[in-house]
């Protein structure tokens, strides 16, 4: 072998070995987890959805969450009413829909979770780690919100008046009032409503500020434990269990929304509320705030950059039409947000008329809407206000659980992808451990000052970080791996290349839009606070640490990989080039699909091929096998057989 060929073999082999084992020989056990992906028998077989409706409903359940009900309607009201739909729809087509499809196609092609999938370009593995951090942080406080919902649901099951509808309880103050009391509008300005006092003085027994967390609220702690038990029971078998639960949790909210819309439309003042909701004020669009809010809502609502879409798609069959699924879920999600706006504002219109207040005084967002304003309106819906309250909180519970299923599956899939084949049968135990850790980390949020902590986490855990991760996502796939190359991967799944709209958005439009939103987020940054009180600087600092946690992993892991995960004999430039390339085992999980897509099958033992069987895998070269293989047409379907591939004949490989 001449010197040039020897050098190339060294680069190829060192690149593989360097990425996985610091330039040393890779053992069979080191590659066991990946070989399990191509194995189709026994405990190592990767799960797939029982049918595609399971996947579709799981995606809808994940995307349609609490934000559709308690955040979108208020954003619409606060940003020009019906005029807000203009930036909302534009952001959907500019960023939301393309990035949603990108994540689904990425996960479905490789059948790997949000971290392991970065075999496509190992230097970007920090992107996947950042996604997992965001999903874990959000799951911690999201289940606390579910715990609040369970608490309200339990308190709604009574034959007496709803506890937040009247004054005179032990938690009420002298400032409590309701419509049965004779006060003027001026006098009411210094008084509080019973629903507000129930939320702050009974549910939380809230302290004076974030500096004082107080004691643990035992009722909320019990509800939090129950929430995690429900999550575990629904996901402990992976998608085989959660994929069936979503038939109820994804569809039930629509039944309740339609019922509440009908009930709200029959109430006096409903028309006034709807008019307030949709009346367009186009002058608002001259400001940057509606555009920033629209982008943030699209990202939060569709669940982009949480890693959950990649994870759920990784359990799809290889030829599933994920483009169709992306369109269905995205439009369904946005339609649900608009429907929820009519439900909420028809009820707020009634509340405005009934309490002789302006709608702007009763409109609220987030927990204020779900646990103060709307429960007060439900208490006025005679007859049987308890029934309406039970339906409403059951709807919130199912909306929250769907999102929790996806986030927990995201976190546990990353752990399972990192473990060898033999540990896959213990997935139930891994999930149990993850739920228990999530419960422990949620305890500070069920203290008397826990509402402040949750507000900090909600304001800083996502948002800015999601945009940064999305930008890196697009750069890695479109410019490092190659847009045309990824388009060819999609063609192997769907039978056709992505059209110009998808390619233009992935490569140019969506990243630029996200850059603009990130800049706007800094320009219009407002410190976090609660109840018109801004948190102190040290609390804001903790919030920024949460923000940095998720995307600082991108450069940190890149530095770590360059130093420790490549051959020490390489120069820095050679190490970077090696880490930018896909690993030797990148591609579809099943050998039949690998050959269809132009990839070499995986060796039977999962170990890296020898140099003569190695393709260079350069980011600038095509994916053509360097050894002659039996054709996919003549292969036995691996889903029905345990036989692995074999070579038809060996050939001389020229790497020049």
Q: How many CB atoms lie within 10 A of CB 599?
A: 22
- The token pair at 205 is 């027994």
DSSP 236: T
- The token pair at 176 is 């409590």
User: Dihedral, CA atoms, 543, 544, 547, 548, nearest 10 degrees?
Assistant: -140
- Tell me if 64 is assigned to a ligand binding site: yes
- Tell me if 68 is assigned to a ligand binding site: yes
- The token pair at 520 is 């706007």
- Tell me if 387 is assigned to a ligand binding site: no
Q: Which of 279, 278, 266 is nearest to 350 (CA)?
A: 266
- The token pair at 47 is 């799960």
Helix 385-418, helix 252-265: angle, nearest 10: 150
- Tell me if 333 is assigned to a ligand binding site: yes
Q: How many CB atoms lie within 10 A of CB 365?
A: 17
Q: How far apart are CA 231 and CA 408, in angstroms?
A: 8
Q: How far apart are CA 19 and CA 14, in angstroms?
A: 8
Q: How far apart are CA 625 and CA 647, in angstroms?
A: 11
- The token pair at 656 is 């020049």
- Tell me if 287 is assigned to a ligand binding site: no
- Tell me if 531 is assigned to a ligand binding site: no
Q: How far apart are CA 561 and CA 548, in angstroms?
A: 20
- Tell me if 321 is assigned to a ligand binding site: no
CA 158, distance to chain mean position in Å, is 36
**How many CA atoms are closer than 13 Å to the CA of 211, on its beta-carbon side?**
7
Contact 231, 435 (CB under 8 A): yes
Whether omega before 383 lies within 30 degrees of 0, making that bond cis, reads yes
Q: How many CB atoms lie within 10 A of CB 224?
A: 26
Element spanning 530, H or E: strand 529-530
Q: How far apart are CA 278 and CA 352, in angstroms?
A: 17
Q: How far apart are CA 7 and CA 306, in angstroms?
A: 41
Contact 449, 212 (CB under 8 A): yes
- Which residues lie below 8 Å from residue 213, measured CB to CB, with a gap of 6+? 207, 444, 447, 448, 449, 450, 453
Contact 353, 176 (CB under 8 A): no
DSSP 183: -
- The token pair at 138 is 């959000």
In Å, the largest CA–CA distance within the chain is 98
Assign 23 to helix, strand or coil.
coil
Q: What angle do CA 344, 345, 350 make, to 5 degrees?
A: 105
Assign 649 to helix, strand or coil.
strand
Residues in the chain: 656
- The token pair at 79 is 């940003």
Binding residues are: 61, 63-64, 68, 301, 333, 399, 402-403
Binding residues for Na(+) are: 61, 63-64, 68, 301, 333, 399, 402-403
């Amino acid at each position: 072998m001449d010197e040039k060929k020897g050098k190339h073999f060294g680069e190829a082999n060192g690149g593989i070995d360097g990425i996985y084992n610091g330039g040393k020989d890779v053992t069979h056990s080191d590659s066991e987890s990946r070989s399990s992906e191509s194995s189709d028998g026994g405990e190592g077989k990767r799960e797939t959805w029982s049918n595609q409706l399971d996947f579709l409903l799981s995606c809808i359940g994940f995307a349609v969450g609490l934000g559709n009900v308690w955040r979108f309607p208020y954003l619409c009201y606060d940003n020009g009413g019906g005029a807000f739909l203009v930036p909302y729809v534009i952001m959907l087509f500019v960023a939301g829909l393309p990035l949603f499809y990108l994540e689904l196609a990425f996960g479905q092609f490789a059948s790997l979770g949000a971290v392991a999938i970065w075999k496509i370009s190992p230097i970007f593995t920090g992107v996947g780690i950042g996604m997992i951090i965001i999903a874990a942080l959000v799951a911690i406080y999201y289940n606390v919100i579910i715990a609040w919902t369970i608490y309200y649901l339990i308190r709604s099951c009574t034959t007496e008046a709803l506890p937040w509808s009247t004054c005179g309880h032990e938690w009420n103050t002298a400032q409590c009032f309701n419509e049965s009391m004779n006060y003027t509008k001026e006098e009411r300005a210094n008084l509080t409503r019973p629903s507000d006092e129930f939320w702050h003085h009974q549910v939380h027994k809230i302290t004076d500020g974030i500096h004082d967390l107080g004691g643990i609220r035992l009722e909320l702690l019990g509800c939090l434990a129950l929430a995690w038990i429900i999550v575990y029971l629904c996901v402990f078998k992976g998608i085989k269990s959660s994929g069936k639960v979503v038939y109820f949790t994804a569809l039930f909210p629509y039944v309740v929304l339609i019922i509440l819309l009908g009930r709200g439309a029959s109430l006096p003042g409903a028309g006034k509320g709807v008019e307030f909701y949709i009346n367009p004020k186009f002058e608002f669009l001259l400001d940057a705030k509606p555009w920033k809010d629209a982008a943030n809502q699209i990202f939060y609502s569709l669940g982009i950059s949480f890693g959950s879409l990649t994870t759920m798609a990784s359990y799809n069959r290889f030829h599933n039409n994920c483009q169709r699924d992306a369109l269905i879920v995205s439009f369904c999600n946005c339609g649900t947000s608009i429907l929820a706006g009519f439900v909420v504002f028809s009820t707020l219109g009634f509340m405005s008329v009934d309490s002789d207040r302006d709608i702007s005084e009763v409109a609220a967002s987030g927990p204020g809407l779900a646990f103060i304003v709307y429960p007060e309106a439900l208490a006025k819906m005679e007859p049987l206000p308890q029934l309406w309250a039970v339906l409403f909180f059951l709807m919130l519970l199912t909306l929250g659980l769907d999102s929790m299923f996806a986030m927990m599956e995201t976190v546990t899939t990353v752990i399972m992808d990192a473990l060898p084949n033999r540990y896959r049968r213990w997935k139930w135990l891994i999930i149990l451990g993850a739920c228990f850790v999530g419960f422990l980390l949620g305890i500070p949020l069920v203290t008397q000052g826990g509402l402040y902590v949750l507000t900090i986490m909600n304001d800083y855990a996502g948002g800015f970080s999601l945009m940064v991760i999305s930008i890196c996502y697009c750069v890695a796939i479109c410019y490092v791996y190659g847009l045309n190359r990824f388009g060819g991967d999609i063609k192997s799944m769907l039978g056709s290349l992505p059209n110009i709209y998808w390619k233009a958005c992935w490569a140019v439009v969506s990243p630029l839009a996200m850059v603009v939103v990130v800049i706007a987020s800094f320009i219009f940054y407002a410190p976090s606070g609660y109840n018109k009180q801004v948190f102190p600087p040290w609390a804001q600092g903790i919030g920024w640490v949460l923000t940095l946690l998720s995307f600082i992993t991108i450069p940190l892991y890149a530095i770590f990989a360059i130093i420790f995960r490549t051959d020490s004999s390489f120069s820095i430039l050679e190490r970077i080039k090696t880490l930018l390339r896909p690993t030797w085992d990148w591609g579809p999980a099943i050998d039949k699909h690998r050959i269809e897509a132009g990839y070499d099958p995986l060796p039977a033992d999962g170990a890296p091929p020898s140099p003569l069987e190695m393709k260079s895998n350069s980011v600038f070269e095509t994916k053509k096998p360097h050894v002659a293989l039996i054709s996919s047409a003549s292969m036995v379907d691996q889903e029905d057989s345990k036989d692995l591939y074999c070579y038809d004949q060996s050939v001389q490989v020229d790497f020049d």
